[in-house]
Structure 1
């Protein structure tokens, strides 16, 4: 039976700590929301926008993200989107936002049965609008070619794997970009930032279409070796 269906018919257990009673318990929700802040990878690839994340990719946050992306617990999209919305609000500093999701690889979408980042982006925009914050979603990025799984690749390998991997979808280029840019900043959205290669490549594709991309937001930032565990 699919995990998403089990979440509907069985008493929920926290994805972060396995405690009964909620999809994400209050303690793990607090850990997931963390402290939205600018967390840039070191070194950062050229062209990387200013990157904000809700928390570090560890503990309850890591377990919850994996459960959502890889274990079919799609009901976790709403609590995760709440953390993403808070991060976008902190990054934008009161301005309206246009959120642009980074598309998943086609093979990953087939394996998972959904595009997790696009779903989170749409829900996060809904959270912002419900709070009175102007937010739109522009699904304008597309994959130009296939890419390999990024797991296990170092920063140079990730950059090579993603080089020229994205483009602005046909029909969204040229004068059309002015119709979805909005009054505030364009904000790239992904789930995790590790080396920054994915977000840098996505930003390049948008800049080539004439779109300025000052910000990116993610749920979590992977800590590099030797980095402090503090936010």
Structure 2
């Protein structure tokens, strides 16, 4: 049966561009589900599932997880009932093969109208954002040593859990991730630009300015291809 969705949004951008932050805000304002392949993978790793063990090997090396693992997971998640009103896809597709596979899935389910938003940011900004990030081991709440610190150092405000730095948030791993991103994910930007689906937005701006630019675009999606507001 064809899937009819009010909003279908893909968020692209390098690690640290703020895709997760913007996706959560969009989810709340548009009342549609936020699907993060990164969150799903991290939960699988934390739970030590077979998929998680496979994915962990890639994450620890700062590499993108194998296409067959991520694509299977993304398709299964997009088929869930809570996506019927729309969805925000964050963390997928990450390479051209994944983008083409996603389009095949969309086409087979009658989903032809979707928006792709590319969050652009500098390497220096990315490194500052990610090296300062801390995650609660218990509830997965996100903090930042400078921008959003916890009240007590190393302790989650919400549940009292221990805060830690992800292995993939070290500076060396971040630089490797950015190199991998540029090599594999940048062609996805060209792919969606060619299809007339892409909007460029600077993610170096304050989060509220970024979200307002996205919402303005979505409310009047009559711009031509590859626009920069």
TM-score of the two chains, using structure 2 as the length reference = 0.35
Task: Provide TM-score, normalisation by structure 1.
Answer: 0.35
Q: Report which of the two has the higher share of helix.
A: 2
